[in-house]
A and B are shown apart, each in its own frame.
Chain A
Amino acid sequence: MVLGTNLKHIATAAQHNEVVNNNENVMICCGRMGPMCIPVYDIMEDLEDEYPHVTFYDMTFDSPEAHVIRNAPECSSFMGLPFTVYYKNGKLVKATSSIQSKAQITSILNEKFA
Chain B
Amino acid sequence: MNYDIIIIGAGPSGLTAGIYAARAKAKVLIVNEGSVGGQMVLTHQIENYPGVESISGYQLSKIMRKQAKTFGCDIKTGVTLTNISLEGEIKSIEIDSKETFTAKSIIIASGGRSRSLNVTGEDEFKGKGISYCATCDGDFYQNMEIIVVGGGNSALEEAVSLTKYASKVTIIHQFDHFQGYQHAIDEAKANPKINFLLESKIIEFLGNEKVESVKIENLKNGSITEMPIAGVFIFIGYVPQTERFKGLINLNQWGEIIVDENLQTSQKGVFAAGDARVTRTRQITTAVADGTIAALRAVDFINQK
Binary contact track A19-56/B, C-beta < 8 Å → 1, others 0: 00000000000011111111101110010000000000
Given the known interface contacts A43-B35, A96-B127, A97-B127, the answer about A38 and B210 at a Cβ–Cβ threshold of 8 Å is no
CA distance A2 to B250 in the complex (A): 46
Cβ A38 vs Cβ B140 within 8 A: no
Cβ A80 vs Cβ B36 within 8 A: no
Cβ B56 vs Cβ A4 within 8 A: yes
Return B229 CB to nearest CB of chain A, in Å: 12
Cβ A46 vs Cβ B44 within 8 A: no
Cβ A46 vs Cβ B137 within 8 A: no
Q: Which residues of B19-50 have CB atoms within 8 Å of chain A's CB atoms?
A: 34-37, 41-42, 44
Return A41 CB to nearest CB of chain B, in Å: 8
Cβ B37 vs Cβ A42 within 8 A: yes
Q: Does A14 contact B (CB under 8 A)?
A: no
Partner of A39, one of B35, B59, B127, B129: B35
Return B33 CB to nearest CB of chain A, in Å: 9
Return A113 CB to nearest CB of chain B, in Å: 17
Contacts of A5 in B (CB 8 A): 58
Partner of A38, one of B58, B127, B130, B231: B58
Q: Which residues of A88-112 have CB atoms within 8 Å of chain B's CB atoms?
A: 96-99, 101-103
Considering residues A98, A99, A101, A102, which has the most beta carbons from chain B within 10 angstroms of its beta carbon? Answer: A98
CA distance A35 to B130 in the complex (A): 15
Contacts of B141 in A (CB 8 A): 79
Q: Does B228 contact A (CB under 8 A)?
A: no
Q: Does B69 contact A (CB under 8 A)?
A: no
Contacts of B42 in A (CB 8 A): 35, 38
Cβ B140 vs Cβ A80 within 8 A: yes
Partner of A79, one of B36, B57, B59, B129: B129
